[in-house]
Amino acid sequence: MIEKDKEKKNYNKAKPLIKYNKIVSIIIKKYKKTNQKYDISEVRKLASLVYLDFRKEAISKIPIKKVEQSALKNSKLEIKATDVPSYWFDDQTKFSYWFQIGDWANQFANAYPTIPIMLITKKNEKNPLVVQGATGDYDGSIFQRFVEEIRDSLTDPTKSPLWKEEIGIFFGTPAYFKGRLFAVWFEDGVTIPKVAPPIQIISPKKQILIDEAEEKEKKRREEEKPKTKRGRPKKIIGIEPLPKVIDKKPKIKPLKPIVEKPTSNRVTEIRNLIAEFRQDLKDGLISKETYADLVKNLTSKLEKGGEI
């Protein structure tokens, strides 16, 4: 019984080591599957970081895919310039001339932001351009400025025979500087420095930073919004509540329809007589004076209410 207890204690003590070794084995298998070179000391450091994500998990329940994902997240093994496809350095048609090199280096920086880049030209031989990080669009980038500085130094950049004499074609290669690999593109005939200058770390595109800032501000405003509670608002002592605004629409009385009153028989008779007198005037049976007297007599009788 005592021996079994000892075995159980020894197994529990060995659990972390067994789990650690299993993680190391998974990481190494992943590197071998993808044909990546690895340093065993770096793998052990990486396994220690991954172990923290699975320290509470049982050994039998550690999933391979999650270990691989954790290793990728915690990996300190950078992609090196020697790991990238060779066409980045061999495809002369893409970067041979000074006006091509900036755009090519910009594409490389966005594809491999962890690899430092060095551009060397005879125009600025003592202080080559050394940058690292995703630069985004070529327009306005540090690589475009590099090309424009070369353009400004040429006698006439529009005449290709002339500038071919002033500046050579570019070549690309991975190169070590103090144990660190750089992706280097250099002009033909230039002297490559023995020591690399300090690396300029390029931040992401401004728009990405703006979007992140706007997103944070949006979340902050949402959090600061007062939560509305249902029910009546609390009465504050000394402050009279504002009267409720009741939107009462004024009552509009409907308009009475205008009914045209029928004219009386008396009025009709007078109108008919005046019409007859007017016709007699036209026919020359009566004079204008007689017509005027007849009309005046009829209207006066209408007002007085006498017989016609």
Of residues 113 and 138, more confidently modeled: 138
Task: Average the pLDDT over 94-117 and give the result.
Answer: 90
pLDDT for 91 beyond 80: yes
Per-residue confidence (pLDDT) for residue 236, from 0 to 100: 45
Task: Average the pLDDT over 17-37 and give the result.
Answer: 84
Measuring CA to CA, how many Å separate 58 from each of 16, 122, 220, 231?
Answer: 10, 61, 40, 52
Per-residue confidence (pLDDT) for residue 252, from 0 to 100: 42
How far is the C-alpha of 84 from the C-alpha of 119, rounded, in Å? 18
Q: Mind listing the pLDDT tens digit for each residue in 177-219?
A: 877 889 999 999 888 888 888 888 875 544 455 555 666 667 7
How far is the C-alpha of 25 from the C-alpha of 18, rounded, in Å? 11
Q: Do 135 and 112 form a contact (C-beta atoms < 8 A)?
A: no
Task: Average the pLDDT over 90-106 and give the result.
Answer: 93
237: CB partners within 8 A, 6+ apart: none
Kindly indicate the confidence band of residue 172, based on its pLDDT and cuts at 50, 70 and 90. very high
What percent of the chain has pLDDT above 70? 70
Of residues 40 and 6, more confidently modeled: 40
Kindly indicate the confidence band of residue 102, based on its pLDDT and cuts at 50, 70 and 90. very high
Per-residue confidence (pLDDT) for residue 301, from 0 to 100: 67
Measuring CA to CA, how many Å separate 262 from each of 200, 265, 268, 274, 275?
Answer: 102, 9, 10, 19, 20
Of residues 282 and 149, more confidently modeled: 149
Rounded to two decimals, the pTM is 0.45
